[in-house]
Chain A
Amino acid sequence: MFELLGIPPQALFGQLLLGLINGSFYAILSLGLAVIFGLLNIINFTHGAQYMMGAFISWMLLNWLGIGYWPSLLLAPVVAGVSGVIIERLLLQRLYHLDHLYGLLLTFGLALIIQGLFRNYFGSSGLPYQIPAELRGGQNLGFMFLPNYRAWVVVASLVVCLATWFVIEKTRLGAYLRAATENPTLTQAFGINVPLLITLTYGFGVGLAAFAGVLAAPIYSVNPNMGADLIIVVFAVVVIGGMGSILGAIVTGFGLGIIEGLTKVFYPEASATVIFIIMAIVLLVKPAGLFGRTA
């Protein structure tokens, strides 16, 4: 049996698969960021807090209203999305004519406020959320034990990512959206309600973050800081993929998940930094990101 750098192939396959699973979270989150940046030109630093909200909303639905995992997979993103629509209408809309930096600061402040509110109410150590009964247990793949829930995470995120890409790149609605980004005045002249499109896009991006949050609730600790820990990595993913590139966000999300997974085997201490090292290299070689267009 061959060994690669002292790691038996079984272990390697296992780690590749795990990397893919973590990559699914990066992909959905960075996709939401890319959609929002692409169409609103807002660097949405509230994204991590909105991911956390998704997990907490599904906890609240279960414990306060008795609504289980499957309905909350749809409901939590809708609730979070509505909160996003309110934020966009009340606050973000006033910043479109200003520099990126203002949007970044506003959303960063909002993230701190939301996290603070949740911490104040729920504490910082987290809340329990069980894996739904249908997805407990797992498959023995020979080289590793794959929990059913993780397989579901990969499938669900792939479907959501591809559907989003399809809607934006291949449908009439997506064409309107892209037109609105390209030239809002002209698009509006054709009778398309551009402000509404933008509001709904932000709501959708927030919904994506919350969807990732619901997926994460049964396997990660549901606590107010869960998004803050992840969001910095996700921003690095977006920068590597190219700000605003839909396909770039998806491909880099999965790809970096795998690279990070491999680092956890070969040099675990560096696994928290490897993505930033790659980011630095990419920024040096291709400042617009791997899939980005230079303006």
Chain B
Amino acid sequence: MTTFRMNRRSVLAGAAATAFSARSMAQAQQPITIRIGVLNDRSGLYADLTGEGSAIAARMAVEDFGAAAKGLNVQIVSADHQNKPDIGANIARQWYDNDAVDVIADVPTSSVALAVNQITREKNKIFLNSGAATSDLTGSQCSPNTVHWTYDTYMLSQGTGGAMVKAGGDTWFFLTADYAFGHALERDTSAVVQRQGGRVIGSVRTPFPGTDFSSFLLQAQASRAKVIGLANAGGDTVNSIKQAAEFGITAGGQKLAGLLVFVNDVHALGLQTAQGLVLTETFYWDLNDSTRAWSRRFAPQRAGNMPSMVQAGVYGSVLHYLKAVAATKSKDAAQAMAWMKANQTDDPLFGKGTIRADGRKMHPAYLFEVKKPSESKGPWDYYKLLATLPAEEAFRPLSANACPLVRA
């Protein structure tokens, strides 16, 4: 048993120490504790292009920003929304109400993202979306608390859709994943096709997720459309491209437009099947020296897999948010959002850019073609650059936006 003996000297020393530490605490910055929740698909078909890789990207942003030295104590938490809006909404509420989460990042799957968008606005927190595609996040359902970073359905349709029509593909048939994302992508691409003088001659809504697309592909083939637009993503896209090759659809002269193809999908298809596919992304690991340097730091943490544009977007958006908190010395949502929109973004992955009033992050988009197996120098060497679309061309102009924040 130990006893604690107290004498006058130790009491005095203790009192002095307490007084001193209290003063020094008041003089130095009180560290601001920020909790960022990375909410995405960690087990389903989008787990590779979002998942743990997005959490790694967020941690890299914290590290690269030197958050600790700038008086920020940043914690990253993560959860699996299983691509289900109800599960995603529950986690978001739990995080905001009980777990002191300030920011939710990533959130692929449009239906989940729209739910989180709504909850974030109610709770007056911040939503940095990278993974979802629907352009409604900065359109009819835009929110003062949301930044939509990486890409959206308008940009995908503008990039891939526009390029296909220009190359003579003026009649379209859509294979559309039957949920919010697929519908938005079909709607936005149809608009681009029609604006450029093309025609949409049919579409079929396919259950999500699907395995066998041959039946839908035959309907597309029978329509004799020049372009078959794949308004789907992930495993659905992989299966439809694989089966289109098998049924001789591409050999028969019809072209496939993969409206949302990620580098991970190309990896899953293999160049033999994916070669020649035209697609649009806003980030590719082999784009320039700074993307290569960052990706080479990322890949070893993901068993050698290169980052997707979604993971890159998580990095960029978290970095910009941390800058806002460090500059405003507050994690007040309105202040941070105002700072983020007022100041230029700058990161090694997307370069310099801006965030518009509607929450849309502006940066260029790149039209890529998938290399032939003979052109590829090794694993993950998949794309060649066809064209660069400046941000103003790639994303929906403010004048055409249904977002109430813009019209106000």
Interface residues of A (CB under 8 A from B): 11, 14-15, 18-19, 21-22, 116, 119, 123-128, 130-131, 137-138, 144-145, 147, 149-150, 219-221, 223, 225-226, 229-230, 261, 264-265, 268-269, 271-273
CB distance from B51 to the nearest CB of A (A): 7
Residue among B43, B178, B207, B272 making CB contact with A128, cutoff 8 Å: B272
Interface residues of B (CB under 8 A from A): 43-49, 51, 178, 204-207, 209-212, 214-216, 218-219, 221-222, 234-235, 238-239, 242-243, 246-248, 252, 262, 264-265, 267-270, 272-273, 303, 305
CB distance from B170 to the nearest CB of A (A): 24
A19 and B212 alpha carbons, distance in the complex (Å): 10
**When A and B form their complex, what is the total count of cross-chain residue pairs whose Cβ atoms lie within 8 Å?**
110
CB distance from A208 to the nearest CB of B (A): 18
Report chain B residues within 8 Å CB of A127. Answer: 268
Could you show 30 A-B contacts with beta carbons less than 8 Å apart? A18-B212, A19-B215, A119-B43, A123-B47, A124-B44, A124-B45, A124-B47, A125-B45, A125-B48, A125-B262, A125-B267, A128-B273, A147-B246, A147-B248, A220-B211, A220-B212, A220-B242, A221-B235, A223-B235, A223-B268, A225-B44, A229-B209, A229-B211, A265-B219, A268-B205, A268-B206, A268-B207, A269-B178, A271-B206, A272-B210
A126 and B212 alpha carbons, distance in the complex (Å): 15
Report chain A residues within 8 Å CB of B206. Answer: 268, 271
Please determine whether A269 and B205 come into contact, CB atoms closer than 8 angstroms.
Answer: yes
Given the interface contacts A125-B48, A126-B235, A147-B248, does A264 sit within 8 Å of B268 by beta carbon? no
Report chain B residues within 8 Å CB of A19. Answer: 215
A137 and B248 alpha carbons, distance in the complex (Å): 8
A264 and B175 alpha carbons, distance in the complex (Å): 12
A18 and B216 alpha carbons, distance in the complex (Å): 10
A150 and B217 alpha carbons, distance in the complex (Å): 15
Report chain B residues within 8 Å CB of A125. Answer: 45, 47-49, 234-235, 238, 262, 264-265, 267-268
A74 and B262 alpha carbons, distance in the complex (Å): 34
Residue among A131, A261, A273 making CB contact with B246, cutoff 8 Å: A131
Report chain A residues within 8 Å CB of B234. Answer: 125
The residue in chain A whose Cβ has the minimal distance to the Cβ of B218 is A14
A271 and B175 alpha carbons, distance in the complex (Å): 14
The residue in chain B whose Cβ has the minimal distance to the Cβ of A145 is B248
Given the interface contacts A15-B218, A18-B214, A268-B204, does A145 sit within 8 Å of B305 by beta carbon? no
A-B pairs, 10 with minimum CB distance: A128-B270, A272-B207, A126-B268, A124-B47, A125-B48, A264-B215, A125-B264, A221-B238, A125-B268, A123-B48
CB distance from B256 to the nearest CB of A (A): 16
Interface centre among A119, A123, A225 (most CB of B within 10 A): A123
Residue among B46, B51, B222, B272 making CB contact with A11, cutoff 8 Å: B222
CB distance from B261 to the nearest CB of A (A): 11
A119 and B43 alpha carbons, distance in the complex (Å): 8
CB distance from B222 to the nearest CB of A (A): 6
Given the interface contacts A119-B43, A220-B242, A268-B204, does A230 sit within 8 Å of B48 by beta carbon? no
Please determine whether A271 and B207 come into contact, CB atoms closer than 8 angstroms.
Answer: yes
Report chain A residues within 8 Å CB of B45. Answer: 124-125, 223, 225
A21 and B305 alpha carbons, distance in the complex (Å): 35
A56 and B209 alpha carbons, distance in the complex (Å): 20
Report chain B residues within 8 Å CB of A220. Answer: 211-212, 239, 242
Given the interface contacts A125-B238, A125-B264, A130-B270, does A18 sit within 8 Å of B44 by beta carbon? no
Given the interface contacts A147-B246, A219-B242, does A11 sit within 8 Å of B219 by beta carbon? yes
Given contacts A126-B268, A264-B215, 5 further A-B contacts (CB under 8 A): A18-B212, A19-B215, A124-B44, A145-B247, A268-B204
The residue in chain A whose Cβ has the minimal distance to the Cβ of B262 is A125
Report chain B residues within 8 Å CB of A149. Answer: 246
Given the interface contacts A123-B305, A125-B48, does A219 sit within 8 Å of B243 by beta carbon? yes
Report chain B residues within 8 Å CB of A124. Answer: 43-48, 51
Report chain A residues within 8 Å CB of B204. Answer: 268
Report chain B residues within 8 Å CB of A21. Answer: 214
Please determine whether A18 and B211 come into contact, CB atoms closer than 8 angstroms.
Answer: no
CB distance from A51 to the nearest CB of B (A): 11
Report chain A residues within 8 Å CB of B247. Answer: 138, 145, 147
